[in-house]
Amino acid sequence: MAHTQVTADGPRMSDFSGYPVAALVRDTLERCGARAAFGLPGGANRELFLALRGSKVRLVVPSHELAAAFMAGSYGRVSGRPGVLLTIPGPGFAYALAGIAEAWQDSAPLVHIVHAPPGPPHQRLRHQALDQSAIAAPMVKAVFCIEDPAQLLGGLEEAFEAARSGEPGPVLVQLGAAPSRAAVPPPRPDERELAALWQRVARARRPVLWLGQGCAGAAAAVRRYIERTGTPAFSTASGRGVLSEASSLNLGYDSLRGTTAALNEFLDRCDLVLAVGARLAYNGSAGFGVQLPAGRLVHVDASGANLNALYPAAAVLAARAEELFAHPQAQSVPRTQWSAAELAAARAAVGTVLQHESEPAIAEQTAAQFFSNLRAALPDEALVVTDSGMHQVLARRYFEVRAPFGLLLPTDLQSMGFALPTAISAKLAAPQRPVVALLGDGGALMSGLELAVAVREQLPLVAVVFSDGYLNQIRLQQLQDHGRAHGVALPAVDFAALAVAVGAHYELSDARLECLPQALAAPGVTLIEVPVSDSAAVQSAARRSRAKAVVRRAMQIARRPGVRR
């Protein structure tokens, strides 16, 4: 694709105005294999939205561009096919940025199509003018220019390929401006390097697999390899479910279960750690608390930039999991020497949840009981989406994940407002899988009106709101660290009235979730509210905090001038 430069008169925006060019963009999206687009119309793209009427590309218009970006990224993450984000330049572009950054952190393929902002002269003073390329550059794989409509097909094809190749991620396509950088095609793995890596793995006697989200597309091959060789495995947070956690060969690890020390003890007995499709970033490595024996890590990832980034490896290979496990030598790796007793003991130690006295009660039962009931009510292939917050912590501790993306969460960015838009696009990407969104009342305040979008799109969807009236994860941290909390109370929301207002069904549930099977079978949207309350330990801490506040207030009054002592 030709990389054109901005002229003194600015980019040729007029080349992309009018319905005929918008129809050409639509046809090009269809040829690129796009199946869904998410965004809001405005002055710059109104013809494109009109052109998408009757298209093979399903158009979803959410409440705002942030939700649209979450939807596009999560659609790409679950389907493997890049989600398309459509915004206007300026405010629409800016509002979507957190969702684009989330897609960058989540390795989610996304193609963001936006018109270029006004160019020089006096660019800073022009209407809705931002340097979009410079702003987006740190959080996208590439910035593309399509200055001439004749370049649409080649330019968009290149953008789609960049979004899904190597480590998937977002790309920005600007209609009418030169890119700040172009995509670099990922290297193909060398046959000799692949063979040498499998020879190294074959020599190991007590190996372990560390699985990341990059293995999701190769889950069946990974499972066959593990079962044939008897290799134990553990996962990053976003890689959970690549191997069902019901498997005796899955160690059941999550950093929020509090058993990283037990995992490190097990790893010390391994002679090889094969990490595949995992960036080994903060969230997936317990804040880099996972410790690997020196010289025993073999790291395979689609992005060469992730190799030897923080964990030094004895061997590295830039390759996708599909390429790795399809290699013929994967079939000749012998069975490991792990005994069933060793692995059972390791699974018991690593998969055990260390109890936390600050955990809230969910409908007057423990969190463990609630998530056990949730697991029992869902089929193995169900897709559960969490927002950022205390409920995510509890879900990661107690929910058993049995399928790829069975627990879909924001990773290192941890954006609030993520769950409901993601659940909508996940249902579009995987319509055969039941989808349940888990969100706190804080997340519901951010994206709750997307329930109306789910109703309009006629999606069978269940949203579970944990209602406690606080930004509770931060509140509990404040109480633990400082003995008091402030700035964490939320405005009261009548969720029953909200459900009625948007056309969803409402249920108030106890921890047994007896209403969930019927909600899953219903054709529409169901909002289930679950009350959450403090544990006895937190109630005691809150009482002590209130008592100390009374004493502090009395002492302040006593020290005022003129107060009789």
Q: How many domains does the chain have?
A: 3
Domain end, chosen from 146, 175, 204, is at: 175
Residue ranges making up the domain that contains 292: 191-351
Dihedral sign, Cα of residue 411, residue 415, residue 416, residue 420: negative
**C-alpha angle 308/299/75, rounded to 5°?**
100
Query: Looking at the structure, do residues 210 and 171 belong to the same domain, yes or no?
Result: no
Where on the phi/psi map is residue 85: left (φ > 0), alpha (ψ -120 to 50), or beta? beta
Amino acid letter at 383?
A: L
- Residue 529 is classified by DSSP as E
Query: Looking at the structure, do residues 150 and 250 belong to the same domain, yes or no?
Result: no
DSSP string computed for 137-163: GGGSS-EEE--SGGGHHHHHHHHHHHH
Q: What is the domain-level CATH number for residue 269?
A: 3.40.50.1220
Q: SS3 letters for 42-74?
A: CCCCHHHHHHCCCCCCEEECCCCHHHHHHHHHH
Exposure letters 129-156 (e unless 16+ CB within 10 A, then b):
bbebbebbeebbbbbbbbbebebbbebb
Query: Looking at the structure, do residues 63 and 139 belong to the same domain, yes or no?
Result: yes
536-558 and 472-482 helices, crossing angle to 10°: 60
Global pTM reads 0.90
Half-sphere exposure of 247 (CA within 13 A, CB side): 24
| Within-domain flag for 434 | yes
Half-sphere exposure of 382 (CA within 13 A, CB side): 24
Query: Looking at the structure, do residues 392 and 341 belong to the same domain, yes or no?
Result: no
| Within-domain flag for 181 | no
Q: Under a CB-based contact definition with an 8 Å cutoff, are residues 248 and 343 in contact?
A: yes
| Within-domain flag for 565 | no
Q: How far apart are CA 408 and CA 483, in angstroms?
A: 33
What radius of gyration, in Å, describes the C-alpha atoms of the chain? 25
Domain end, chosen from 351, 375, 402, is at: 351
**C-alpha angle 266/251/300, rounded to 5°?**
80
| Within-domain flag for 503 | yes
Q: How far apart are CA 347 and CA 99, in angstroms?
A: 36
Burial classification of residue 558, based on how many CB atoms lie within 10 Å of its CB (0-12 exposed, 13-18 middle, 19 or more buried): exposed
Q: What is the domain-level CATH number for residue 159?
A: 3.40.50.970
Report the pLDDT value the prediction gives residue 6, as an integer from 0 to 100.
Answer: 33
Report the pLDDT value the prediction gives residue 364, as an integer from 0 to 100.
Answer: 87
End-to-end CA, the chain: 83
Q: Where are the alpha helices (DSSP H) in 258-327?
A: 260-267, 321-325
Where on the phi/psi map is residue 204: left (φ > 0), alpha (ψ -120 to 50), or beta? beta
Query: Looking at the structure, do residues 89 and 232 belong to the same domain, yes or no?
Result: no
65-79 and 97-105 helices, crossing angle to 10°: 20
The SS3 of residue 94 is helix
Q: How far apart are CA 201 and CA 314, in angstroms?
A: 12
Query: Looking at the structure, do residues 405 and 256 belong to the same domain, yes or no?
Result: no
Report the pLDDT value the prediction gives residue 15, as an integer from 0 to 100.
Answer: 66
Q: How far apart are CA 545 and CA 534, in angstroms?
A: 14
Report the pLDDT value the prediction gives residue 4, as an integer from 0 to 100.
Answer: 32
Q: How far apart are CA 342 and CA 356, in angstroms?
A: 27
Report the pLDDT value the prediction gives residue 551, as an integer from 0 to 100.
Answer: 65
Residues of the chain with confidence (pLDDT) below 50: 1-14, 180-181
| Within-domain flag for 22 | yes
Q: Under a CB-based contact definition with an 8 Å cutoff, are residues 372 and 349 in contact?
A: no
Quickly tell me which residue has 């999991």 as its tokens: 321
Report the pLDDT value the prediction gives residue 127, as an integer from 0 to 100.
Answer: 67
Quickly tell me which residue has 């459900």 as its tokens: 499
Q: Residues 162-218: pLDDT tens digits? A: 999 999 999 999 997 765 445 556 667 888 999 999 999 999 999 999 999 999 999
Q: Residues 96-106: pLDDT tens digits? A: 999 999 999 99
Report the pLDDT value the prediction gives residue 20, as an integer from 0 to 100.
Answer: 86
Q: Under a CB-based contact definition with an 8 Å cutoff, are residues 469 and 489 in contact?
A: yes
